Amino acid sequence: MCGIVGVVGQGSVNQLIYDALLLLQHRGQDATGIVTEQNRKFFMHKAKGMVRDVFRTRNMRALPGARGLGQVRYPTAGNAASEEEAQPFYVNAPFGIVLAHNGNLTNAHALRRELFENDHRHTNTGSDTEVLLNVLAHELARATRGAQLRSEEVFAAVRAVHGRVQGSYAVVALIAGFGLLAFRDPFGIRPLCLGQGDDGSVMVASESVALEGTSLHLVRDIAPGEAVLVREDGEIQSAPCADHAELHPCIFEYVYLARPDSVMDGISVYQARLNMGETLAKRVVSTVPPSEIDSIIPVPESSRPSAMQLAQKLGIPYREGFVKNRYVGRTFIMPGQSARKKSVRQKLNAIVSEFKGKRVLLVDDSIVRGTTSREIVQMARDAGATKVYLASAAPPVRFPNVYGIDMPTSEELIANGRTVEEIRAYIGCDALIYQDLEAMKRAIQAVNPKVAGFEASCFDGRYVTGLTDADLAAMRAGRGGAQEGDDAPASRLSLPNAETT
């Protein structure tokens, strides 16, 4: 779950990219990087840390040019401790290419072997982004065969990439002296949208909020399997590059990952969360009579719209019972369980008057390991609540996610192999209510009925791209050898605490 942005502007774009990355900071807090291009030369600065800490005035002055791209990294493959694995990545042949990507390649292990044995290309890190860059570079070289690069060859190379790469990927890349390339996997799992400014500037970004917050206008989402090429003069060309493309965006984007003020694939994230609260109300009524609830309290931030709609539907007062320390990062994207657990009480503080002597229904966006939920329920009891009920706006998370969300192994997921009653007992609440998966899908799809379906593997175990046992085994093996914060998929997969946004 990284955030990416690419810009072709009318003047210097370093500040525009910086501002866009600030608006995407919620998508990654581990590392960040910006590349700009001027006179066919790339200028790059990247490091571990948040945007405001990595880029100083001297760094910004060293990033000239009217074209560029940037990324905020939330590691799900590779080595989070290594600054070398911060994005973007660069190769000098053919043409000179820099690339950043959001997602996760599920066949990175096989591609790395192919690159070395067949394509004679070397990768120097454990990052699947470097693998993706080298596959693209190889296919561009094959498409041009030493001739001058044209748009047709770029689209042919992307088509070949789709044929080799599996998993989720939203990509922005700069080809020196040619333009900005953006493309999305054939299922559109990770988001990517296109916008334009009044001055003719063009931006591609993970979420619409990056466009609107920098005074650009959302034009449209990039379609699954589509490639968009923005030439140096701002001309936009596009082409479908996958034979069997069908939109299946990651449903967890709407549950937790995206900002509520974003619109992705024609779906307002805020409206989707309101709808989720409405469907959750039916589940609550069947478990706890509304007369036994004095107030409904969200666990900040992602659950607020669902909690508000739930309170309105049931006619129960909505209250803010937790104050969030905004100077602590999203616990969902903190590497390591000990770091996440320690941060819960640093991040949230209970308002005693909202709990003392009251029966409260806490609403969270999701429950992953259950340890954070347990801490929050105990905080409510310590503040004097006589009854603490807990509702999750998402269904039980039972399976690892392999498409760019760093979730735990199945064994670490609290809902895996346990009944709702067993989960309730562990968390320590008086009642536990989960969202229904099909009801949640209908609630979100109602915002844009044109969406074919959703990638919801962490809830139902169905991986839309298809996964072999060998792929899963290789991903687990890659995780085992990597350090905390890996970028490859599925075994250590640790959700930056979806439980406490």
Q: Which residues are catalytic?
A: 2
Structure tokens at 327: 């100077």
Structure tokens at 142: 């094959």
Q: Which one, of 214, 209, 196, 292, lies nearest residue 16 by Cα?
A: 214
Q: What span, in angstroms and rounded, lies between the C-alpha atoms of 19 and 21?
A: 5
Going from the C-alpha of 463 to that of each of 403, 426, 485, the distances in angstroms are: 9, 29, 22
Q: What span, in angstroms and rounded, lies between the C-alpha atoms of 445 and 429?
A: 31
User: Maximum Cα–Cα distance for the chain, whole Å?
Assistant: 76
Residues near 177 by Cβ (< 8 Å), separated by ≥ 6?
40, 95, 96, 232
Residues near 215 by Cβ (< 8 Å), separated by ≥ 6?
197, 198
Crossing angle for the helix pair 371-382 and 337-347, to the nearest 10 degrees: 30
Q: What span, in angstroms and rounded, lies between the C-alpha atoms of 306 and 255?
A: 10
Q: What span, in angstroms and rounded, lies between the C-alpha atoms of 476 and 324?
A: 35
Residues near 433 by Cβ (< 8 Å), separated by ≥ 6?
280, 283, 284, 287, 288, 389, 390, 391, 392
CB 347 within 8 A of CB 471: no
Which residue's structure tokens are 């619109």?
263
